[in-house]
Amino acid sequence: MRYSYCPKCGGALRLNENERLVCSACGFVFYQNPSASVAMILIRNGKVLLGRKRGRYSGQWCVPCGYVEWGEDVYEAAKREMLEETGLRIEITSLYTVTSLYGEPYLGTEWYNPEQQSVMIWFLAKETGGELRAGDDIDQVGYFSYEELPRIAFPVHEIVIRKLLEEQLIS
Ligand SMILES: [Zn+2]
């Protein structure tokens, strides 16, 4: 989504020669960048922890994830989202992969989503405490092997879960 009006003065935004939105009244440059999000991979006995979504993707599942808040450290965001959605306290053990939730590989496919541009940082995590229970926008949580996978809400999650299988991190 591209904005039409300047957040500073309300003037009309126009695209300049560098494809940047610039205010025609005050000259403000509106830098529009993808947001940052985090996803936390927790594996137990060859199964990956998934949560079932409420709301727009109701009944579909995904790896616990969420947006990084303004001013928030990505590692803190990962711990916060995990606690909110699954009740678990975690420690990040490593960075697993980074994906664009739009972008070149998905052009022309149903996975291409220019309306929701976010860079997702995927972490491998280990449980350090808490108690497994669904929370926030998740109404059920559970561990799944690849062949038991329920309907996955987001294609990029399918891609990463498939990568976990190929690298034998899950079975
Ligand atoms: Zn302006």
Q: 149: CA distance to ligand 1 center in Å?
A: 49
Please give the distance, rounded to the nearest whole angstrom, from the Cα atom of residue 16 to the centre of ligand 1. Answer: 14
Question: For residue 111, what are its two tokens?
Answer: 């996975």
> Helix (H, G, I), strand (E, B), or coil: what is residue 18?
coil
Q: Is 88 within 8 Å of 69 (Cβ atoms)?
A: no
Write down the pLDDT at residue 57: 86
CA of 25 to the centre of ligand 1 (A): 5
Ligand 1 centre to CA of 24 (Å) is 7
The mean pLDDT values, 10 residues at a time, for the chain of 171 residues are 88 92 95 92 98 92 96 98 97 95 65 75 97 94 97 89 97 96
Q: How many other CB atoms are found less than 10 A from the CB of residue 57?
A: 15
What six digits make up the tokens of 87?
A: 């009740």
Q: Could you give all domains of the chain from N- to C-terminal order, each with its CATH number?
A: 1-32 (2.20.70), 35-166 (3.90.79.10)
